[in-house]
């Protein structure tokens, strides 16, 4: 018992001497400044900045591994990534990339990071714990965010040049194509998946359709006519619903995934391409990267529970692990919004000096993106 008490005292003394302990990413939000090379670390307990990381490169993208004290940030202009030890609070040497890191995605285990470029193509797989490159595919098709399957072997991506949903097998590095359209020039969204990974969803932004593909047979199982500019589909953390949105009209369609039956079809007075789902798949924050309007939709009563305007232009929205809160970062104001999905209130926390370039939460409930 005495040894345990002594160890605890030594631990508390070291934390006090070294400053705030930021080694557990699950307790924090990380917000990268739009102009300066800094990342603000915000406590999720009191929504205040507790530490500022001065970075050697600009944090255009930020990844926090939820189960290890590792932060990674990428600079698209320099084609570099840097790993940061949150426990020791030190940077490691920059890693040069042959691919421009325009899209950065963490896998379901928090161990692997996929980097893609929707303009020039290319693929890089990083290992977060090893803090280095696993492999590179130089001639990888141009694509946006990839989608990791829960087996952490299959990586889905949209190949607009061929009109396909494609799958990369990480072990063999072979690519398999699933044809979606044979019409050249059509724009496809990044893919999403069902919680059980049985279905993969892709929006055809040009035609306003959403395709549901069976991941095992690799054929289109269902096509939904959403109309206008169909946003990337979203699947809820509990696995019950598929959400589809038309950015041009504000239409929102909720579909039960088990039988693919329509549950709700409503329209908002603003575009929607960002979704955060509350506990029990009920209260949903719906907002947009093209305007500052927000709405909270009650998926039980099928009615809008609250609506308003954010102070800035959202760049991304993420949910807390328990589904109680939504966090929204803005491009043009030096703060983040904390939306209480149960009490239907919005509060703001100071973050950065110039607005946000990127942000992440150490553990989010946005699981199927």
pLDDT tens, 268-313? 988 999 999 998 889 999 999 999 999 999 999 999 999 999 999 9
Residue 1: the pLDDT is 40
Helical spans, DSSP H, in the chain: 2-18
pLDDT confidence bin for 11, thresholds 50/70/90: very low
pLDDT confidence bin for 368, thresholds 50/70/90: confident
pLDDT confidence bin for 8, thresholds 50/70/90: very low
Q: Chain-wide mean pLDDT for the chain?
A: 91
pLDDT confidence bin for 217, thresholds 50/70/90: confident
Give the pTM. 0.90
Residue 312: the pLDDT is 96
Residue 55: the pLDDT is 98
Q: Which 3 state secondary structure label does DSSP give 146? A: coil
Stretch 196-211: mean pLDDT: 94
pLDDT at residue 219 above 90? no
Residue 13: the pLDDT is 37
- For the CA atoms of the chain, what is the radius of gyration? 21
Residue 226: exposed, middle, or buried by beta-carbon count in 10 A (0-12, 13-18, 19+)? buried
Share of the chain above pLDDT 90, in %: 81
Cβ within 8 Å of residue 238, ≥6 positions away: 195, 277, 280, 281
Do residues 115 and 75 make contact, with C-beta atoms less than 8 angstroms apart?
Answer: no
266/307 Cα distance (integer angstroms): 14
323/287 Cα distance (integer angstroms): 17
Q: Which two tokens stand for residue 241?
A: 């619903």
Stretch 230-251: mean pLDDT: 92
Place of tokens 């379901």: 108
38/85 Cα distance (integer angstroms): 15
């Amino acid at each position: 018992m005495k040894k345990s008490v002594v160890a605890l005292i030594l631990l508390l003394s070291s934390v006090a001497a070294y400053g705030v302990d930021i080694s557990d990413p699950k307790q924090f939000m990380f917000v990268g400044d739009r102009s300066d090379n800094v990342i603000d670390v915000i406590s999720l307990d009191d929504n205040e900045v507790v530490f500022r990381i001065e970075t050697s490169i600009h944090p255009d993208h930020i990844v926090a591994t939820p189960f290890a004290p590792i932060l990674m940030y990428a600079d698209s202009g320099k084609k570099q990534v840097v790993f940061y030890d949150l426990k020791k609070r030190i940077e490691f040497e920059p890693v040069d990339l042959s691919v421009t890191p325009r899209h950065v995605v963490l896998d379901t285990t928090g161990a692997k990071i996929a980097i893609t470029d929707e303009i020039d193509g290319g693929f890089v797989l990083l290992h977060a714990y090893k803090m280095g490159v696993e492999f590179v595919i130089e001639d990888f098709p141009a694509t946006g965010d990839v989608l990791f399957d829960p087996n952490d072997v299959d990586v889905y991506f949209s190949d607009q040049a061929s009109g396909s949903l494609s799958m990369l097998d990480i072990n063999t590095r072979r690519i398999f194509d699933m044809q979606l359209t044979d019409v050249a020039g059509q724009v496809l969204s990044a893919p999403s998946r069902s919680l059980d990974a049985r279905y993969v969803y892709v929006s055809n932004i040009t035609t306003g359709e959403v395709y549901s593909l069976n991941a095992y047979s690799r054929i289109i199982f269902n096509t939904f006519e959403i109309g206008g500019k169909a946003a990337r589909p979203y699947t809820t953390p509990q696995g019950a619903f598929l959400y589809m949105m038309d950015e041009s009209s504000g239409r929102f369609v909720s579909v039960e995934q088990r039988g693919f039956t329509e549950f709700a079809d409503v329209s908002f007075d603003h575009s929607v391409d960002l979704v955060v789902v509350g506990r029990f798949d009920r209260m949903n924050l719906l907002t947009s990267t093209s305007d500052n309007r927000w709405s909270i939709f009650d998926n039980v009563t099928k009615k809008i529970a609250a609506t308003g305007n954010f102070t800035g232009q959202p760049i991304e929205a993420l949910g807390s692990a328990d589904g109680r809160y939504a966090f929204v970062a803005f491009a043009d104001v030096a703060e983040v919004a904390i939306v209480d999905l149960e009490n239907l209130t919005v509060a703001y926390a100071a973050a950065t000096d110039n607005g946000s370039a990127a942000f992440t939460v150490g553990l989010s409930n946005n699981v199927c993106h």
